[in-house]
Each structure stands twice: as structure tokens, then as C-alpha cells.
């Protein structure tokens, strides 16, 4: 038989082993597809001096998540998205997208990202089909693979009736669908949409919102910027609010409502940015 001291030593060793096993099998935190740390971008204006378009922004976006990025015009949300897409370089701070650093590995980031901005332009003399094909090949896809992906996108976005029409003859909604297709033809893991429904009619807007939701359901990671609060409520899993270049609030819709003490999303936005009563 073990002595009292021996039993105590044995029990202590069992507890140590149990603690070690608990640490070993502790659930890991959710992986991050997008991560920024104190990400900043400054511009210099002759009249106003230094302008901090993005000011120490730290955020994380998880796989299969739609992250809504809200802010008034000039708040800095487009700057943050352009930094993530490597269209501009940060002044300071860091960011990774799909495991790649935006400064050290910009080419790798671009191959994994589809970025659609309100200013995205089309070549007027090309047809919608030619436009999407051109960008597919520009991203290194073989022609056969481009054709397969274009067929899928055309079906999902209801583009078949105008695929062979020149871009200068397309309606606003048709042009936006073509822009989305050219942005996503290389099947990126990360999708960044900057006001994708701006100026569109109700039916086209609904189709694009549905498409974005379906992309999330297929495991894509999405950053979605909009001024349409009903789109935020329908789509976004989590929301970040940018004001004067800073991330001033972040959370689920329920968390932001609780923090603001109101339910209406417009009121939530105004309250958390300190603009309540100014509108």
C-alpha cells in the first residue's frame, strides 16, 4: 500500500497531467481571414495638413462571415478597404488577408481578394462576356476555366440576356452585375464590396444582396460597406463602425443595439458615432 505521502504525491501528479491535457485540448479561438493591427493611413493636404483617413484600426474578420463596415462619407471605411485590397499602402500598422501580409505580399493578397468599389469602371467597347473573360485571364485562369466560371456567375447574377452586349449599352444594374462578375471570376476567398447597390433599382439590389448572402453560405469571407441600413440588418454577422478614421464600435447587431440603447439601426449608428441630434 502507498503511504499517505505517496497517495498525495500520486494525486498531485494526476492533477498536473489533467491540467496539461486541458491546456492541450483547449478549444482554439476562431481563425481569422482578415486581421488588422493599428492600421493607419495619412494623407497631406496643403490647406488642412495631415489627414488621418484611417487611424489605428484594429479588426478581425472570420471565415464565412459578412462583416459590415459602416461610416459616413469621408469617415475612412473606403480607405480601410483599399488598404486591405493593397490598392494603397499603409502609413503604419499591419494587416493580413488570407494569411498574407498586405505590404510584404501584395500579389498574393490580390490573388485571394475580389474588390468591388463604387468607382469600378468597365471598358465600354467590350461586351460583358469579353470584360469578364479579360479579367479572368488577367488573374491567370485558363480560358476553359474562365468559361466555366463565367457560366456559373451569369446564372447566379441573371446575366445571360446581356452577356454579348457592349458595356456602353448596358443599364446601371447590368453594369453592376458585370462588375461583380469580373471582380469574382477568379473565385477569391475574400470579397470586399464598397456600396455595391448604390443607385440600383429595388429588384437588382435584392438580387445582389441575395448573391452576397449565397457567397457567405459557400464559405466566402465578405466585407460589406453600405449606407442602406436594411441591408446591414439582412446580411451582416458582425458590424464595425468607422468615424473620423477610427473604429468606434464593433459587434453583432444585437450587441450594438444593446450598447446604444435603441433598436433602429440608423439611430444606433448616429448614437455610436456621437452624431445623435445633429442630423
The three state secondary structure string of the chain is CCCHHHHHHHHHHHHHHHHHHHHHCCCCCCCCCEEEEEEEEEEEECCCEEEEEEEEEEEEECCCCEEEEECCCCCCHHHHHHHHCCCCCCCEEEEEECCEECCCCHHHHHHHEEEECCCCCCCCCCEHHHHHHHHHHHCCCCHHHHHHHHHHHHHHCCCHHHCCCEHHHCCHHHHHHHHHHHHHCCCCCEEEEECCCCCCCHHHHHHHHHHHHHHHHCCCEEEEECCCHHHHHHHCCEEEEEECCEEEEEECHHHHHHHHCCCCHHHHHHHHCCCCCCC
Structural domain contains residue 215 = yes
Report whether 182 contacts 116 (CB < 8 A). no
Residue from 97, 93, 117, 91 nearest 109 by CA: 97
Residue from 235, 230, 234 nearest 269 by CA: 230
- Give the domain range for residue 231: 34-272
Overall domain count for the chain: 1
Return the pLDDT at 6. Answer: 58
Structural domain contains residue 203 = yes
**Residue length, the chain?**
279
pTM: 0.83
Separation of alpha carbons 151 and 224, rounded Å: 25
Report whether 165 contacts 131 (CB < 8 A). no
Using 50, 70 and 90 to split pLDDT, how confident is the model at 44? confident
Structural domain contains residue 185 = yes
Return the pLDDT at 25. Answer: 44
pLDDT at 7 over 70: no
More confident residue, 47 or 102: 102
More confident residue, 98 or 14: 98
Structural domain contains residue 109 = yes
Structural domain contains residue 143 = yes
Q: Which of 9-13, 35-39, 56-60, 106-110 is the least confident region?
A: 9-13
Measured in whole angstroms, the distance separating CA 241 from the mean position of its chain's CA atoms is: 13
Return the pLDDT at 60. Answer: 94
Separation of alpha carbons 215 and 198, rounded Å: 19
Structural domain contains residue 58 = yes
Return the pLDDT at 27. Answer: 45
Structural domain contains residue 129 = yes
pLDDT at 55 over 90: yes
Q: Which residue is listed with cell 470584360?
A: 131
Using 50, 70 and 90 to split pLDDT, how confident is the model at 49? confident
Q: Mind listing the pLDDT tens digit for each residue in 165-203?
A: 999 999 999 999 999 999 999 999 999 999 998 888 898
Structural domain contains residue 23 = no
Which CATH number do you get for residue 57? 3.40.50.300
Return the pLDDT at 103. Answer: 96
Return the pLDDT at 133. Answer: 96
Q: Mind listing the pLDDT tens digit for each residue in 82-102?
A: 999 999 999 999 999 999 999
Amino acid at each position: 500500500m502507498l503511504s499517505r505521502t505517496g497517495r498525495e504525491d500520486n494525486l498531485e501528479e494526476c492533477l498536473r497531467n489533467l491540467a496539461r491535457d486541458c491546456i492541450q485540448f483547449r478549444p482554439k479561438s476562431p481563425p481569422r481571414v482578415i486581421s488588422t493591427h493599428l492600421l493607419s493611413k495619412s494623407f497631406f493636404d496643403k490647406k488642412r495638413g495631415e489627414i488621418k483617413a484611417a487611424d489605428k484600426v484594429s479588426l478581425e474578420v472570420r471565415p464565412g462571415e459578412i462583416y459590415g463596415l459602416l461610416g459616413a462619407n469621408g469617415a475612412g471605411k473606403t480607405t480601410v478597404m483599399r488598404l486591405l485590397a493593397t490598392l494603397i499602402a499603409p502609413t503604419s500598422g499591419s494587416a493580413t488577408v488570407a494569411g498574407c501580409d498586405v505590404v510584404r505580399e501584395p500579389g498574393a493578397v490580390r490573388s485571394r481578394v475580389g474588390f468591388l468599389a463604387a468607382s469600378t469602371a468597365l471598358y465600354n467597347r467590350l461586351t460583358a462576356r469579353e470584360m469578364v473573360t479579360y479579367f479572368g485571364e488577367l488573374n491567370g485562369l485558363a480560358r476553359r476555366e474562365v468559361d466555366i466560371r463565367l457560366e456559373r456567375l451569369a446564372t447566379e447574377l441573371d446575366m445571360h440576356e446581356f452577356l454579348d452586349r457592349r458595356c456602353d449599352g448596358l443599364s446601371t444594374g447590368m453594369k453592376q452585375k458585370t462588375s461583380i462578375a469580373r471582380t469574382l471570376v477568379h473565385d477569391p476567398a475574400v470579397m470586399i464590396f464598397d456600396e455595391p447597390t448604390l443607385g440600383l433599382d429595388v429588384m437588382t439590389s435584392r438580387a445582389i444582396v441575395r448573391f452576397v448572402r449565397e457567397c457567405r453560405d459557400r464559405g466566402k469571407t465578405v466585407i460589406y460597406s453600405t449606407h442602406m441600413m436594411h441591408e446591414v440588418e439582412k446580411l451582416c454577422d458582425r458590424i464595425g463602425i468607422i468615424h473620423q478614421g477610427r473604429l468606434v464600435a464593433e459587434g453583432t447587431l444585437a450587441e450594438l443595439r444593446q450598447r446604444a440603447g435603441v433598436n433602429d439601426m440608423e439611430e444606433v449608428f448616429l448614437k455610436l458615432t456621437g452624431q445623435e441630434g445633429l442630423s
